[in-house]
């Protein structure tokens, strides 16, 4: 069967700015090449980087116009001849550099994984960027059971998954969050602590025996508290601040790794990781979705849905 390009309503912008620069346009999605899959998108996870890129505040550059959205879930609707790991109609999730906030997308089969039974598509849409970032950052520290770690923004997209992964690996996890998220953190066996002034003293009181490693998802404050408490720079990882200013590590997500996506999906299905959906917005309400994302106080993920 010859595959042809198809039209897809797609969230785009052609100038940098606030949510008002976002548009929904009918754009063409190419026919999949031999190693590619065309996906009917059902959900797109939004991430702070989408807002930073749109505002022109990201160190990463995408040439304008940009197609919005870097993580997706949906259904396989066409495949190139060399794709053997997926079937038509199968639910998949994955990540590409842009274009996930659209009715359809085309992506290499190598950047996606199958959605297992029991995983909601809205949750799957948050695993390939936020989830794998958490996984890769945690892995990079090679920590053992019994380690005491601090995770900032521990109710957020990355921090929430990282904190729960570490609990599952037998670590003691202290997570920073605003009080509204403390009960949820306790329910996930994460010890909550408020961020803000006095953080170092609160951490010292909670962990007088010392902190093994710190994973920062929110910026300077956590890093400075960690340094004040004598955590070695090679045991501090940030994905939210300029690591070179402090000489700390900056391990974020590596290349999309489907076995990691499989492992994360299995942990959500098993209930080991709770991935709350803070809110789901239809594609047409993408500006409202971004406004919500940019208020910065989420539990879990904001997703766009294209039912
Ligand atoms: N390098 C990479 O590979 C990579 C990948 C993904 C993300 N990132 C970056 O990592 C950061 C986090 O991403 P994300 O998706 O996890 O974001 P997110 O889900 O939007 O983070 C929301 C969380 O941030 C917390 N928060 C807000 N203000 C805070 C403060 N002053 N101190 C501590 N926590 C605060 C909120 O906690 P409360 O609601 O409890 O107030 C909320 O739970 C972003 O800067 C993002 O760009 C980097």
pLDDT score for 191:
98
The pLDDT of residue 3 is above 90:
no
**pTM greater than 0.95:** yes
| Separation of CA 121 and ligand 1 centre (Å) | 22
Determine which residue's CA is closest to atom 35 belonging to ligand 1.
Answer: 153
| pLDDT, tens only, 55-78 | 999 988 899 999 999 999 999 999
Q: Give yes or no for a contact between 27 and 10, defined as CB atoms under 8 angstroms apart.
A: yes
| Separation of CA 154 and ligand 1 centre (Å) | 8
Ligand 1: lining residues by beta carbon, under 6 Å? 47-49, 129-130, 133, 152-153, 155-159, 176-178, 181, 195, 217-218, 239-240, 252-253, 296-298
Determine which residue's CA is closest to atom 48 belonging to ligand 1.
Answer: 239
pLDDT score for 1:
61
The topology (CATH level 3) of 6-126+275-305 is Quinone Oxidoreductase; Chain A, domain 1 (3.90.180)
Averaged pLDDT, 79-106 = 97
Q: Domain ranges in the chain? A: 6-126+275-305, 131-246
- HSE-up of residue 228 (Cα within 13 Å, Cβ side): 13
The sign of the CA dihedral 186, 302, 259, 49 is negative
The kind and range of the H/E element at 221 are helix 220-228
6-126+275-305 and 131-246, same CATH topology: no
| Separation of CA 123 and ligand 1 centre (Å) | 17
Q: Give yes or no for a contact between 201 and 228, defined as CB atoms under 8 angstroms apart.
A: no
| pLDDT, tens only, 250-277 | 999 999 999 999 999 999 999 999 999 9
Determine which residue's CA is closest to atom 46 belonging to ligand 1.
Answer: 48
pLDDT-derived band of residue 307, with 50, 70 and 90 as boundaries?
A: confident
pLDDT score for 24:
98
Percent of the chain having pLDDT more than 90? 97
- Find out if CATH 3.40.50.720 is the number for domain 131-246: yes
Give CA torsion, residues 215, 218, 220, 226, to 10 deg.
-30
Phi-psi region of 114 (alpha: psi -120 to 50; beta: other; left: phi over 0): beta
| pLDDT, tens only, 6-41 | 999 999 999 999 999 999 999 999 999 999 999 999
Closest residue by Cα to residue 243 from 270, 215, 268 = 215
Averaged pLDDT, 228-248 = 98
- HSE-up of residue 133 (Cα within 13 Å, Cβ side): 24
């Amino acid at each position: 069967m010859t595959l042809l390009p198809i039209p897809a309503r797609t969230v785009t912008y052609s100038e940098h700015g606030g949510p008002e620069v976002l548009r929904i346009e009918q754009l063409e999605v190419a026919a999949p090449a031999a190693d590619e899959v065309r996906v009917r998108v059902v959900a797109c996870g939004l991430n702070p980087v989408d807002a930073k890129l749109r505002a022109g505040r990201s160190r990463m550059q995408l040439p304008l116009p940009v197609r919005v959205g870097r993580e997706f879930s949906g259904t396989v609707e066409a495949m190139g001849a060399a794709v053997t790991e997926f079937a038509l109609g199968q639910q998949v999730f994955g990540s590409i550099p842009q274009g996930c906030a659209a009715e359809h997308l085309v992506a290499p089969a190598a950047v996606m994984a199958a959605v297992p039974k029991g995983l909601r598509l809205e949750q799957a849409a948050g695993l390939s960027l936020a989830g794998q970032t958490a996984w890769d950052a945690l892995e990079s520290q090679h920590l053992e059971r019994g380690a005491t770690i601090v995770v900032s923004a521990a109710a957020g997209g990355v921090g929430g998954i990282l904190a729960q992964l570490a609990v599952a690996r037998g670590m003691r996890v202290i997570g920073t969050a605003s009080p509204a998220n403390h009960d949820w953190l306790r329910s996930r066996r994460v010890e909550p602590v408020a961020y803000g002034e006095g953080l170092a003293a609160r951490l010292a009181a909670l962990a007088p025996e010392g902190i093994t490693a710190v994973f920062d998802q929110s910026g300077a404050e956590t890093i400075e508290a960690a340094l004040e408490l004598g955590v070695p720079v090679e045991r501090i990882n940030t994905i939210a601040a300029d690591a070179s200013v402090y000489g700390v590590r900056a391990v974020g997500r590596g290349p999309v790794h489907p076995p990691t996506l499989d492992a994360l999906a299995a942990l959500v299905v098993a209930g080991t990781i709770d991935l709350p959906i803070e809110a789901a917005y239809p594609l047409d309400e993408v500006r409202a979705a971004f406004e919500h994302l940019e208020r910065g106080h989420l539990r879990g993920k904001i997703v766009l849905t294209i039912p």
